[in-house]
Structure 1
Amino acid sequence: MVQPRAEYPRPQFVRSSWQCLNGEWQFEIDAGDSGLERGLLERELSERIQVPFCPESELSGIGNTDFMPAVWYRRQVSIPAEWAGQRILLHFQAVDYDATVWVNGQELGRHRGGFTPFSVELPATLAGSEITLVVRARDDARSPKARGKQSQRYGNYGCLYTRTTGIWQTVWMEPVPPTALGRPRITPDVANSCFHLVQPLSGPRTGMTVQATLRDQEGVVCTVRCPADQDFAPQLTLPIPAERRHLWAPGAPYLYDLDIQLLEGETVIDQASSYAGLRSVTIEGQAVKINGKTIFQRLVLDQGYYPDGIMTAPSDEALRRDIELSIEAGFNGARLHQKVFEERFLYHADRLGYLVWGELPDWGCGGYGPVEDHQKPDVSYVSQWLEALERDYSHPAIVGWCALNETWQPLTDTITVLDDMTRALFLAARAFDSTRPILDASGYSHRVDASDIYDSHDYEQDPVRFASNHAGLAEGKPFVNEHNGRAISLPYRGQPYFVSEFGGIWWNSEREPGDDTTSWGYGTAPRSIEEFYQRFEGLCNVLLDNPHMFGYCYTQLTDVYQEQNGIYTFDRRVKFDMERLRSIQQRTAAIEQQA
């Protein structure tokens, strides 16, 4: 049987030696979360599953969509003998939600958070031997946690979908030397025509150097060295001569290759390959500029769900194809909604010149966001957000961050937990990344006055009323979401503004007229496909014609289960004339004409 999802899972920090552990594992559902007491750590498990697909999915071979408070995985793994003398790292790209890892009966690691990667280090003495790897994943779907769009009911409803439990991204191993490179942080500097590289290291590094070599299509651009033992994380600047300067831009993505080596004298101790894109994101008035050019962001809401894999793409090709489908419809980017996408998606976005906004899957507590009953914070939101920022910082496709979505608690005369958590997540992103704009919350409750961007969600279906909603932006009085008639946001103060959710036009050609039970969308479904085109064009025109609007995000790329308001069907079949949708969107926007 072909090994599923066998491509390298971390394409921006690649080592040549690694072992993919996807494929068949032993598996067992632990309905009472009593497996440790019942001996599941020691014995064989009763079922078989295809990792990395979650047990709810068809591709896993299980297909159980009921609640699973805990699940167990077990597998024998042979560690190559040639890895002797090196540290052995076991990587999990994502396990939902609380994971514990045992090797030969010894607990070696634990992690909380269903969307971000973690690693455990195996004893070096295990090289050349066969080990027993056991993983328990606990996932109480009804408890407050960052779950994104996963349903808390048995079935799907509204805009909430089938749950994901346990391992749902690649599991893999790699050997690293006693002193090793960590994941680099690559910062493009367009103004000074260079890249800044911060290179974490682990282990003793006395007498060692870090060397970075930048290459373009013609060959070596520059090679830079610095001592490895003078800073906790050595910092290097890689200059690019004017004649070798190529910018990464939407639709025109130029990527440099980057080789990083840890040297002792001239002996290579560790090495990895990466890549980088030279691009800038700046704000000028109400415009958001890429490389100093105003580019209207024609974004689509992408939920990243698949009929057979749920949150896991069935193949690497499926990730790339979703981007191509979006571009074919006229979009130049996406808001990756309520999910930290597989990193391979970002790799394809980098290579295809596709703009991306990164998001934390924060839905899951009372009132949405990281607050239960408006008072109890879930601090794991901050740790997961930092893990996502660390993983994805160096991808040039990402042009903005937003941790929260549709928090709606009203403003009160006291500072609330929502205020504290919104600020904490905003400041975490700002401390980690000073090169991209940050939106405190997408739509609804804006609680950080220093937010770089301001936005709203507006699903008004009548283009005339939609235009009226947004006419006040010219006077500094934009459409601002409320909740039950109460103010939930601090005032707008002139930031770049966009409608980060709109449209969602309900269209399913197979739906019987008047049938509101088998599918769902916003407003009243158009009576004909021509009415769909007219509504789509009217709504897009309102935002394209507004000279104070820097972009929009249309809901959504595909249908997702019962929510049938996508540009494509759930299985990625074409619903509309894509050339017509593309021509509607691709005309020059008003804010671009002012540039």
Structure 2
Amino acid sequence: MQTDQTIPTHYPRPQFERKDWINLNGKWDFNFDDANIGEREQWYKKHDFDSEIMVPFTYETKASGIGEETFHPYIWYRRSLEIPEEGTGKRALLHFNASDYVTKVWVDGQFVGSHQGGYTKFAFDVTDYLNHSGHHELVVKVEDSNSCYQPRGKQRWISENFGCWYVQTTGIWQTVWLEFVNEHHLESVKMTPDIDTSSVLFEYQFADSATYSNLRVQTDIQFDGKPVKSFSQTVDRSSMETKMNIASGIGEWKVKLWHPNHPNLYDVTFTLYDGESVVDQVESYFGMRKVSIENGQVLLNNSPIYQKLILDQGYWPDSMLTPPSDEAMIEDIEKTMEMGFNGVRKHQKIEDPRFLYWCDKKGLLVWSEAAATYEFSQEAVDNFTKEWIDIVQQNYNHPSIITWVPFNESWGVKNIFTDEKQQRFTEGIYYLTKSLDSMRPVIVNDGWEHTVSDILALHDYEEFGEVFAERYADKEKIIHNERTHNHHKFAMASGYHYQGQPIIISEYGGIAFQGEEGWGYGNQVATEEAFLQRYQSITQAIKDCAYVSGYCYTQITDVQQEINGLLTEDRKPKISLGKIREINS
């Protein structure tokens, strides 16, 4: 096996970081199992695997060392591992940041557990399966399907790419790693900033324990290396919460707010004591920011913010959905900002935690959008709901995420305009999201046919600015379903009414150049001058529409057969980034 691809090696969970861990990315044994005989023949005990793969890249990618795009529903991985000295006597937690779709794990021939869901992280405590010293054998089976009842996003479900659907992603596609903790340890801390009271609500979740009598948790907050606040409290149950005012902690009367213009982050260390002994320590951070809606506008920190977003599907030519490196993610973020955009709509993908970390650090706004199912059924409702709950809970602490987008363009709810069951499903997801996160807007059915939604997000690929301006001149006709906003869909689902929400054009543009193999929206352009003229015309028409509070251009890069990126797949600019910035300014 030969591959020139860099293997991701950075700490994979930067918002909850411990020092004792080992990275399991790299070369694994690998086997297809199209006949699904592996479990019956006990491949998890002894089997001669017939190839190798570079984890965390899927077999469909060049970076994996395999590069076969044919769909295989059952695949197996194997590697040996050895517990280092620092892990002796501790609990061993095996983490998968993402694996698509059903993942089963064995250690030394013993079944550990399984997980369903292609875009969420999960972990198994494998301590009790490591019953001897020396080398251990880790075996993983992943089951995938072409079902439209599972959240699949832009992954195709037929043998060839079509439209805006691309080669599928099967198996492990984000970092696998092993972490070592004491029996008493923190499982999570949910952090909710409140800039109006200069405080943060900390909600701690501890590993289940027979006794908490000697445990206390200390929280130390710093900004720019200087102490802000420190407080300690006794642990008496598996979950507890504390609200802490952080103003005046560094000799100033106000807190440092997080904003794209100044992405201030507070560092925080959580230390768990058993008596006087430290049994767990976690490094984290949070941003003080508030997202709210008033008078038809989105507010950030109580001031209106005009959102200039770009659609970002997070694909790379050699590794597809898997970010090839931190440097690659940083390049995308920095080029986005260089072009004058202040945010991304992460389209049909839950991105690697390190991408969100860099957005937090650099101040890039993020709309977090779920991968869609494509048919409506009880199975689809179950699959989507379970995965969406995990997504919201796992990414809650990232200040860069300012909007949740569970549904897009009626995908998976194709009859939502009139079907009451599908309408109620989207309502349920809206209110469920609000119960988990009351501080972010939720968009229900980005594009058209909204039910309950905090923002009215409209898609329109009109080519000509003057036509766009005329179409949106009469707001009342669009919001009251007296006319379509894009020639084929109404803004609201039947029976629902506009409630004064902010209006954002969340997909437009999609301009492609002539001579490239693939497609874009509308007529292709021949020159940079023609591109910029069209881009300026439609973008200015949106900016001139007084009731529209932002836009999202399609898209940052080409993706396989879709060639409407401002950059090529390998991140080469097609037009001057400075000229794009000038139009966006």
TM-score by length of 2: 0.93
| Alpha-carbon distance, 1:468 to partner | 2.1
Partner of 2:467: 465
Partner of 1:314: 324
Match of 1:61 among 65, 72, 77: 65
Partner of 1:4: 7
- The structure-2 alpha-carbon separation of the partners of 1:526 and 1:507, relative to structure 1 and needing over 3 Å to count, comes to same
Residues 459-511 of structure 1 show CA distances to partners (whole Å, capped at 9, x for unaligned) of 11121221122222267737756896787452222111111111111225x43
Corresponding residue SS for 2:406: strand
Instruction: Single out whichever of 60-69 and 488-497 deviates more from structure 2.
Output: 488-497
Q: Distance in 2 between matches of 1:5 and 1:166?
A: 17
Residue identity opposite 2:122 in structure 1: F
Corresponding residue SS for 1:185: strand
Q: How does 1:552-567 map to 2 (within 5 A)?
A: 552-567=551-566
Are positions 1:98 and 2:109 aligned together? no
- The structure-2 alpha-carbon separation of the partners of 1:25 and 1:413, relative to structure 1 and needing over 3 Å to count, comes to closer
Percent of aligned pairs with the same amino acid: 37
Instruction: Single out whichever of 37-46 and 475-484 deviates more from structure 2.
Output: 475-484
Corresponding residue SS for 1:544: helix
Q: Distance in 2 between matches of 1:154 and 1:377?
A: 22
Q: How does 1:339-354 map to 2 (within 5 A)?
A: 339-354=349-364
Residue identity opposite 1:162 in structure 2: V
Match of 1:76 among 80, 89, 94: 80
Instruction: Single out whichever of 477-486 and 226-235 deviates more from structure 2.
Output: 477-486
- The structure-2 alpha-carbon separation of the partners of 1:192 and 1:537, relative to structure 1 and needing over 3 Å to count, comes to same
Residues 388-435 of structure 1 show CA distances to partners (whole Å, capped at 9, x for unaligned) of 11111001101111101111634576622x223212221221111011
Residue identity opposite 1:365 in structure 2: Y
Residues 361-403 of structure 1 show CA distances to partners (whole Å, capped at 9, x for unaligned) of 11x323xxxx15xx76431111111111111100110111110
**Are 2:57 and 2:64, in contact at CA under 8 Å, matched by a contact in 1?**
yes
Which ranges in structure 2 are unaligned for 5 or more consecutive residues? none
| Alpha-carbon distance, 1:453 to partner | 1.1
Partner of 2:256: 246
Q: Distance in 1 between matches of 2:192 and 2:534?
A: 41
Partner of 1:206: 213
| Alpha-carbon distance, 1:40 to partner | 2.3
Corresponding residue SS for 1:404: coil
Q: Distance in 1 between matches of 2:474 and 2:133?
A: 69
| Alpha-carbon distance, 1:37 to partner | 2.1
Are positions 1:520 and 2:528 aligned together? no
- The structure-2 alpha-carbon separation of the partners of 1:53 and 1:414, relative to structure 1 and needing over 3 Å to count, comes to closer
Match of 2:509 among 503, 506, 509: 503
Q: How does 1:185-584 map to 2 (within 5 A)?
A: 185-204=190-209, 205-229=212-236, 232-241=239-248, 242-243=252-253, 245-362=255-372, 364-366=373-375, 371-372=376-377, 377-407=380-410, 409-410=414-415, 415-416=420-421, 418-448=422-452, 451-473=453-475, 477=479, 488-489=493-494, 490-508=496-514, 510-511=515-516, 518-584=517-583
| Alpha-carbon distance, 1:300 to partner | 0.3
Q: CA RMSD in A?
A: 2.1
- The structure-2 alpha-carbon separation of the partners of 1:537 and 1:309, relative to structure 1 and needing over 3 Å to count, comes to same
Corresponding residue SS for 1:365: coil
Corresponding residue SS for 2:508: strand
Corresponding residue SS for 2:474: helix
Q: How does 1:107-186 map to 2 (within 5 A)?
A: 107-124=111-128, 126=131, 128-186=133-191
**Are 2:195 and 2:289, in contact at CA under 8 Å, matched by a contact in 1?**
yes
- The structure-2 alpha-carbon separation of the partners of 1:201 and 1:575, relative to structure 1 and needing over 3 Å to count, comes to same
Q: Distance in 2 between matches of 1:31 and 1:231?
A: 44
| Alpha-carbon distance, 1:316 to partner | 1.1
**Are 1:52 and 1:169, in contact at CA under 8 Å, matched by a contact in 2?**
yes
| Alpha-carbon distance, 1:534 to partner | 1.1
Q: Distance in 2 between matches of 1:127 and 1:11?
A: 31
**Are 1:228 and 1:234, in contact at CA under 8 Å, matched by a contact in 2?**
no
| Alpha-carbon distance, 1:140 to partner | 1.1
- The structure-2 alpha-carbon separation of the partners of 1:492 and 1:236, relative to structure 1 and needing over 3 Å to count, comes to closer
Match of 2:40 among 34, 37, 45: 37
**Are 2:223 and 2:266, in contact at CA under 8 Å, matched by a contact in 1?**
yes
Q: Distance in 1 between matches of 2:5 and 2:580?
A: 38
Q: Distance in 2 between matches of 1:468 and 1:376?
A: 43
Are positions 1:24 and 2:27 aligned together? yes
